Structure 1
Amino acid sequence: MRYRLIQGLLWLSGRLPLRVNQALGGVVGILLYWIPNPLRRVAGANIARCLPELKPARQRRILRRCLIETGKTALEAGYLWRLTPASAQRLLVALEGRAAVDAAVAAGRGVIIAAPHLGSWEMAGQIGGREWGVWNLYRPPRIAQLEPLLQAGRTRLGGRLVRADTAGVRQLLRVLRRGGVVGILPDQDPGPEHGVVAPFFGIPANTMRLLPRLAHATGAAVFIAWCERLPRARGYHLRIAPLPPAVADPDPLVAATALNRAVEQCVRALPGQYQWSYRRFKDVRA
């Protein structure tokens, strides 16, 4: 039943104009803000802990915007998974930092793009696939029947998907050593066996060791990317910036701290579009 419901929602949302799609997502987000629910509780707790310097009224505005953007994220997946190269180009208002990625690719160095859950990471993945044939690391959905839909949607414009397992990591190493481009979500909890505890907004958070290890082992150029969703369905603004050499440090704590600091800086620039509802800190209860 859940699969049929999600399948139907993806089908419907994929056929609505983007303005209507995002407007409906915004309505969902407003309901999430006003009706008590786990997403609101976790997001509110995370914002209060990570941005304590802000006044409560400002924190509430960020929470409201975060939930509105969460609703848009949920509905726009079906739309973005049906993009054509031409429609993707129309929606991409700006792409900052492309020259540095192109230069690293031309040099055969290999590139890692860290794309946190900020803005539209689905659109970032589509543009990365179209421009550089990015190999994206992903976790299979909990509902197994959805995986073919996810595979087809996220690879539509040229991206490739690699499962987050041992075989997938080996594939990423091969891609980087051939001078290819790899995309990784850097702000997920990798589990106790694959992470190191490092500060994120000054709070201990389990942080992935994989990205720094790949960078250290291959000498790849490492960038961070976030795709801002512009208001009133005007499109998307993808920003890409180089990460400091410390993210490839052989010391896991040094590397993880540098990675978290870079993600934090991006989030501070666009706090209303960060996925604050993710339980990054395990003592935050839903």
Structure 2
Amino acid sequence: MIRFWMVLWRAVSYLPTPLIGLLGYGLGWLLFWVGRRTTMRNLELCFPGWTPAQRSRVGRKHFMRLTRAALELGLHVWQPKQRMLKMVKLVGWEHLEGCLGQPVIMLNPHFVGLNNGSAAIGERLAESMTLYSRNKNPVVEDFLFQARHRFGAPMLFARQDGLRSIVKRLKQGVPFFYLPDMDFNTKDAVFVPFFGVPASTLTMPSRLASMAHAKVVPVVTRQLSVWKGYEVVFYPPWSHFPSDDPVADTLVINRWLEERVLEMPDQYYWVHKRFGTRPAGEKNLYK
């Protein structure tokens, strides 16, 4: 069955790009009614002051945007590279460019345009690296491998491999993409608020920046209309990061991320159970 969907996905990639986006919006509207439970719970937890209608509207738009981005991922694998690259505009590149050649970490949180933005950045870098988790389905894993390796020359490290190799290459000046906002249980993580809800958050950005004496450059990809594509925004390097307190640094990241989410709440990755890991004795928030 998965191979059938892959064939269909590939066929869709030959459609005009705006039409792919519109198809994604339509399909996402339908998928919202099937798979909205986690998204709506996240929005309820993060925005208790919103009305149910407000949360439903944002959740529905999120599914539409996310599905559009998923369909566009076919362009990464099956279409000429330039077709995808011309969809993406880089803004503030000088903030990253000024740090190249020295240790630099790009904080790249989970917004729906993440894959397109990361590909466009990677294509402009001589080399880069990031972490990854293998997909259990070999067909999907092969697809994702092709998508990840086609733009630029990224080095992929498994999360289980530890930090030694990453720190070594950071010190050599290889830029590191880091996604700071996923729940990976409590190992190497602390509970800090995200929209007022304690969230298990990895301290890795602070520890890596400290060990490698790395600059931290935040970057966010915004999905625009189906005719305009995507905009990648680089922010100035943080001047007071890391501190000597990894917990305080992690809170800094979450507060910065909250500001970005409020700018485009329908584009954050709400389908992820961000609050799945709970402090000892606290009930599951998704049941």
Distance 1:155 1:168, change over 3 A: farther
Match of 2:95 in 1: 100
Residue 271 of structure 1: how far off its partner (Å): 0.7
Distance in 2 (CA, whole Å) between partners of 1:76 and 1:247 is 35
Report the 3-state secondary structure (helix = DSSP H, G, I; strand = E; otherwise coil) of the residue aligned with 1:135: strand
Contact 1:117–1:274 under 8 Å retained in 2: yes
What is the Cα deviation at residue 208 of structure 1? 1.2
Q: How does 1:152-163 map to 2 (within 5 A)?
A: 152-163=146-157
Partner SS, residue 136 of structure 2: coil
User: In the alignment, is residue 285 of structure 1 matched against residue 265 of structure 2?
Assistant: no
Which deviations, in whole Å up to 9, do the C-alpha atoms of 1:188-231 show, x marking residues without a partner? 11222131111111110010122221111111111221211111
Q: 1:6 to 1:197 in 2, by over 3 A?
A: farther
Alpha-carbon distance, 1:89 to partner:
4.0
For residue 75 of structure 1, what is the aligned residue in structure 2?
A: 71
Q: Distance in 1 between matches of 2:78 and 2:244?
A: 41
**Closer/same/farther in 2, CA of residues 70 and 119 from structure 1, 3 Å limit:** closer
Matched, 1:116 2:112: no
Match of 1:268 in 2: 262
Q: Does 1:65 align with 2:61?
A: yes
CA 1:230–1:18: 2 relative to 1, 3 Å: same
5+ residue gaps, structure 1? none
**Residue type at the aligned position of 2:30:** L
Q: Which residue of 2 aligns with 1:86?
A: 82
The question of whether the paired residues in 2 share the 8 Å contact of 1:189 and 1:206 is answered with: yes
2:4 and 2:135 mapped to 1: Cα distance?
15
Shift of 1:236: 0.9
For 2:255 and 2:241, locate their aligned partners in 1 and report how far apart those are by CA, in whole Å: 10
Question: What letter matches 2:221 in structure 1?
Answer: C
Gaps of 5+ in 2: 277-283
Of 230, 240, 254, which residue of structure 1 is paired with 2:234?
A: 240
**Match 2:130 to one of 113, 130, 136:** 136
What's the % identity of the aligned pairs? 27
Residues 265, 67 of structure 1: alpha-carbon distance in 2 compared, 3 angstrom cutoff: same
Q: Structure 1 residues 114, 188: closer, same or farther in 2, change over 3 A? A: same
Tell me what 1:24 maps to. Answer: 23
CA shift digits 1:65-117 (9 cap, x unpaired): 1111121122111123345453344212x322210110111xx3221111111
1:44-63 to 2 correspondences below 5 Å: 44-63=40-59
TM-score, structure 2 as length reference: 0.88
Shift in Å, 1:163: 2.8
Residues 25 and 65, structure 2, Cα contact 8 Å, conserved in 1: yes
Match of 1:196 among 184, 190, 211: 190
Question: Number of residue pairs matched?
Answer: 279
Taking a change above 3 Å as real, the CA distance of residues 27 and 134 of structure 1, as seen in their structure-2 partners, is same
CA distance, structure 1, for counterparts of residue 79 and residue 241 of structure 2: 33
Distance 1:184 1:13 in 2: 30
Q: Which residue type is aligned with residue 17 of structure 1? A: P
Deviations 1:157-191 (A, max 9, x none): 21414133343633321221011211111111122
Partner SS, residue 226 of structure 2: helix
CA distance in structure 2 between the aligned counterparts of 1:84 and 1:168, rounded to whole angstroms: 35
Q: Which string of whole-angstrom CA distances, capped at 9 and with x for unpartnered residues, describes residues 110-167 of structure 1? A: 2111111113111111012111233122111121343232122112121414133343
> For residues 78 and 242 of structure 1, what CA distance do their matches in structure 2 show?
32
Contact 1:95/1:238 (8 A) holds in 2:
yes
